[in-house]
Amino acid sequence: MKNVLVTGGAGFIGSNFVRYLLEVDPQVQIVNLDALTYAGSLENLKDLPHLERYTFVQGDICNGDLVRDLLRQYQIDTIVHFAAESHVDRSILSPEPFIQANVIGTFTLLEAARQYWLVEKALPIEQVRFHHVSTDEVYGTLGPDDPAFSETTPYAPNSPYAASKASSDHLARSYNHTYQLPVTISNCSNNYGPRQFPEKLIPLIILNALTGKPLPVYGDGQQIRDWLFVTDHCEAIHLILTQGTSGETYNIGGNNQPANLTIVETVCDLLDEMQPLTAPHRNLIKFVTDRPGHDRRYAMNISKIERELGWRPRYALTDGLFATVQWILANPDWVAAIQKQREYQSWLTKNYETREKSS
Ligand code: NAD
Ligand code: TYD
């Protein structure tokens, strides 16, 4: 791995991964291709280490000419593909951009890689890799007693977001099977940590709580996610890139599976200690109309990546949440930049005004 194209590296996980890779691997040159949608920001890339090994390109992964030019210009041997529309609620209100970015975008990248690596044979085949970053949501939802998702669980995506990611996974798999493009796929559970856009549960709750706003909990708040601190995810992807087997899929998860309401209460209790209001933050919790088609429970069986690559999550949930709150408190400029985005404010109105319901 020498010349790495990261897509979506101005978003939450991508920007953490760029930072992580520059720090752990002194050999890599990174080209970060990101369209800077509402979810991507150069604020996420401030103070990167080793800037001499880093290039930013603003552009769309659906632009085949641009992607082909970048592969050739930088002799890209590794693609780590994060770029996507990533928020389930937005996919319910407006699915089209998800098909464009997640399906067409992934297809465009795979085609460009096939052309450059397999047709032009630009680089030795054993030195190239396409890593596709995906989600546990492709597996659908679990009942209370169902076993956790494994790599062989059949796909059953329930939201337009999950369906678009499932489609992109299938395309990535097919390029390996049909053309022998060296592809790996990871399906990961919910991430949290520094630089997560505050449309997702944890940063939304932290920012609302800090300003005394209601904390919206969908439905009964008993839905379950498997939470993973973002640098643990970055470490897992790096291991797959360096030691994983082409053609394989790896499940990644946090072994942290509390109900949403417990997550919100834990954040409230942390803030009572770190940034007290006159009343407990829990008083701000408000149950609101549920998400349509809301998946009830996710859980990941991570025994394959533990066994084959020796990876396991490092962060306990309380430590990760503490680090996340601390990062937000220490970065008011990052918070202010997002809060003054008109698009963000109109999203909050669009998503929450219609589901308001008294608790
Ligand atoms: P994010 O929404 O924070 O960032 C996505 C980034 O992709 C943004 O910087 C955006 O500008 C960029 N982007 C979107 N469309 C683009 C396009 N057409 N061309 C170029 N750039 C484009 O997302 P995230 O939470 O960092 O997720 C990254 C990846 O990880 C996604 O593929 C997502 O499906 C996957 N994933 C996320 C989670 C999670 O909990 N956040 C969990 C598992 C998997
Ligand atoms: P989210 O962070 O949007 O991730 P995902 O839908 O990909 O799992 O949501 C996490 C959980 O929190 C999910 O069950 C929906 C719930 N949720 C709320 O209860 N309130 C909110 O305001 C949001 C954004 C999510």
pLDDT band at 357 (very low <50, low <70, confident <90, very high): low
The answer on pLDDT for 226 being more than 70 is: yes
The domain defined by 191-224+258-289+316-347 carries CATH number 3.40.190.10: no
Question: Among 29, 320, 351, which Cα is nearest to 192's?
Answer: 320
The domain defined by 3-189+229-253+299-315 carries CATH number 2.40.110.10: no
Q: Is the CB of 188 under 6 A from ligand 2?
A: no
Q: Is the CB of 225 under 6 A from ligand 2?
A: yes
Q: Counting ligands in written order, which one lies closest to the CA of residue 227?
A: 1
Please, which residues bridge with residue 79 across strands? 5, 130
Q: Counting ligands in written order, which one lies closest to the CA of residue 164?
A: 1
Mutating to test ligand 1, I would choose from 5, 7, 12 the residue with most ligand atoms within 8 A of its C-beta, which is 12
pLDDT in tens, 98-151: 999 999 999 999 999 999 999 999 999 999 999 999 999 999 999 999 999 999
Helix (H) or strand (E) holding 346: helix 342-352
Helix (H) or strand (E) holding 30: strand 29-34
Please tell me the predicted confidence (pLDDT) of residue 359. Answer: 46
* Domains in the chain: boundaries: 3-189+229-253+299-315, 191-224+258-289+316-347
The answer on pLDDT for 358 being more than 70 is: no
Whether the predicted model's global pTM rises above the 0.85 cut: yes
Cα dihedral 332, 337, 340, 344 sign: negative
Question: Among 134, 189, 209, 198, which Cα is nearest to 351's?
Answer: 198
Q: What HEC string does 38-102 produce?
A: CCCCHHHHCCCCCHHHEEEEECCCCCHHHHHHHHHHCCCCEEEECCCCCCHHHHHHCCHHHHHHH
Distance 273 CA to ligand 1 centre (A): 32
CA atoms lying within 13 Å on the CB side of residue 308:
16
Q: CA–CA separation, 316 vs 299, rounded Å?
A: 16
pLDDT band at 355 (very low <50, low <70, confident <90, very high): confident
**Minimal-distance CA residue to ligand 1 atom 13:** 83
Distance 87 CA to ligand 1 centre (A): 9
Q: CA–CA separation, 13 vs 10, rounded Å?
A: 8
Q: Is the CB of 39 under 6 A from ligand 1?
A: yes
The one-character DSSP state at 221 is: S
What integer is the mean pLDDT of 314-328? Answer: 98
Q: Is the CB of 218 under 6 A from ligand 2?
A: yes
Using a 10 angstrom Cβ sphere, with 0-12 exposed, 13-18 middle and 19 or more buried, the burial of residue 100 is middle
What integer is the mean pLDDT of 58-77? Answer: 98
The one-character DSSP state at 353 is: T
